[in-house]
Amino acid sequence: MVTWGTKTTLGMVGTLKDRQNPELLNDIPVVFTVVADPVGSGIIESYDKTGRANVTGTRNRVPESVNIKSITRYLPSFNHLGLLFDRSEPNSVKKMEELTALSQKMKFAFNALPLPTLPDGTPDPAKLPDAAAQLKQAGVQFVYLGSSTFLEKNADAFTNAAVANGLPVLSPYEHLVSESQALMSVAARDYDVGKLAGDQVAKILMENAKPGDMPVVAIDKFAYLVNMKVARKLNLLPPVEFLQFVEKVE
């Protein structure tokens, strides 16, 4: 069985606490894919050892160190990252904490601002221009989308506000580049993720590999997309070396 996404995977195999649940799949091999945080979701114990005899999978998220290196290749003078995060969204807070630690390790300045909210505590899209302006005033050179359902859903308002303040946006989602105003995305393509999952399945079916003994494999092939219209607006055209491997959106 191949599962796609966190919700589907949890529906099929549950968490580690459900290993003996007869209503879930605990006796046939399961390969999961496109699960953002299988450890945090309680699906597996670790990427090296899942802790479940019948479960293994793939990792599709781009490591944040790769994102920072990609920004630096695009903008060699880069040394200051900005992030807007949603206090009400655990994944968004976790991403902020991860980038805080990474900024210390990779030696770049980092400003993370909580999203402005309405009286009921939900993020206020009307305040995005103000938030972008604050990042600009702090000296931020690049804004990263991070993990925010709110910013993804309000892609136009978010990216327009950033560009209006002269800030390029790096997004983990290609559609923010092709359909909105994000400058660049670094992402794993569904085809490549699916192929990696297929390789895992082949080992199980053809080589009699046991899922519980197999590590969760990480994809190492990423697609780079650049919005050239936005690049011209920001007067930030990609270096020649970038043009050799990126896909361009006009």
Tell me: the pLDDT tens digits for 90-124?
A: 778 888 999 999 999 999 999 999 999 999 989 99
Closest CA to 147 of 112, 183, 194: 112
Looking up tokens 């599709």 gives 60
Identify the domain containing residue 139 by its residue range.
64-187+223-249
Tell me the CA distances in angstroms from 169 to 3, 30, 150, 235, one per residue in order.
31, 36, 15, 14
The residues, ordered by sequence, that sit 6+ positions from 72 with a Cβ below 8 Å of its Cβ are: 78
Per-residue pLDDT of 186-227, as tens digits, reads 988 888 889 999 999 999 999 999 999 999 998 888 999 999
pLDDT > 90 fraction of the chain, expressed in percent and rounded: 74
Q: Are residues 138 and 211 in the same domain?
A: no
* Burial of 159 per CB tally in 10 Å (0-12, 13-18, 19+): buried
pLDDT tens for residues 46-103? 999 999 999 999 988 889 999 999 999 999 999 999 999 999 887 788 889 999 999 9
Predicted local confidence at residue 18, as pLDDT: 94
pLDDT, averaged across the chain: 93
49 shares a domain with 19: yes
Same domain, 174 and 197: no
For the chain, the domain total comes to 2
The predicted pLDDT at position 70 comes to 95
57 token code pair: 């999978």
CATH number at residue 24: 3.40.50.2300
Residue 242: per-residue pLDDT: 82
Distance, CA of 250 to CA of 247 (rounded, Å): 10
Residues 130 and 245 occupy one common structural domain = yes
Provide the H-helix boundaries in the chain: 6-13, 64-74, 90-106, 128-137, 149-153, 155-164, 175-178, 190-206, 228-233, 240-243
| 119 in the same domain as 79 | yes
- HSE-up of residue 228 (Cα within 13 Å, Cβ side): 8
Per-residue pLDDT, 226: 95
* pLDDT, position 149: 83
Side-chain half-sphere CA neighbours of 115 within 13 A:
28
Both 27 and 123 in a single domain? no
**196 near 35, Cβ under 8 Å?**
no
Residues 179 and 150 in one domain: yes
**The model's pTM:** 0.82
Per-residue confidence (pLDDT) for residue 123, from 0 to 100: 92
